[in-house]
Structure 1
Amino acid sequence: MCSEDKCILTLFPEFPEFPESLETREELVKYLTVVIFNASAQHAAVNFGQFDWYGWIPNSPTTMRKPPPDQKGQVDMDYIIMSLPDRGRSGQALRTAWALSRFQRNELYLGTYPEMCFTEQPVKEAIKTFRKKLDEVTNIIKSRNEGLTFDYSYLSPDKIPNSVAI
């Protein structure tokens, strides 16, 4: 329940890391921001780079065929190769990482609201301002990535879906 200057919500008392209630609009904005960030930008940053990392099996083998060494200096290249997963397991890992790292064909990115459920003029202006800021951040990231061998665009707004979609 919210009044002009105060919101009181009973949240999740069974989870002690969550506050028992939100008593101001500022608290509500803070917690909604965390939820929205985690379901969009944080997920994109963690999810869409998986194949870039896991696409080379030695970076993060899903299984090992030999035990890890218990002393330094005991391992040579043959031991490492014989420790890595076989082709079948490697293929499964690659397929999974590849599938999880793809965007949907009809992906909706931050600031995209095709249904236009928001019809009030102040909300339309807020969306316009939001989109302008997203474009500014996108341009900054593109500028920073120029000339890099490997760019980092996982947090670029034009590559962040509106929500988790797998």
Structure 2
Amino acid sequence: MTDDYRSEATLTGSEREQLEAFLHDNRQAIVGVLEGLTEEQARRRLVPSLTCPLSIVKHVVFVEKVWFHASLAGRTRGELGIPEAAEESWYLTPDDTVESVLASYRLAWAEADEIAAAYSLDDLALHNRRGPLTLRWIYAHLIEELARHAGHGDILREQIFHGDNFGS
């Protein structure tokens, strides 16, 4: 990861500062999923599902856009260029590279922060299956989802780098 954990600097911060710090830290962990991987390693599937390091990060681009760009800002998935079904967000195309997916993620994240800045934690958003729900809930949900996917990425990275070296 390229910067310090923000959550450590917000031990006595406001609720919003703490939520934003934990979200930031988990976003950095997602970026770390691809850190130091070759294109082949990033696409390597080690489980039966479509999950690989690159697809994890591509999926969280979708997640950021669904919750902030669509649910909070009211844009359509078509307008955002994201699939209607979450399952489709795991599919990789030949054009997806470590660099391009990370750039998409950083852009989605920056835009999500800009969108959220205009709202209070109690402001309501609409989701295609849930809602109304608060921005506070979106922050908590994103922290949970990104942490889970970063953990998946950690395990895949361990398999990629050390898979043949563990004892029996």
The normalised TM-score by structure 2 is: 0.28
Query: What is the TM-score when the length of structure 1 is the normalising length?
Result: 0.28
> Which structure has the highest helix share of the two?
2
Q: Which has the larger radius of gyration?
A: 1
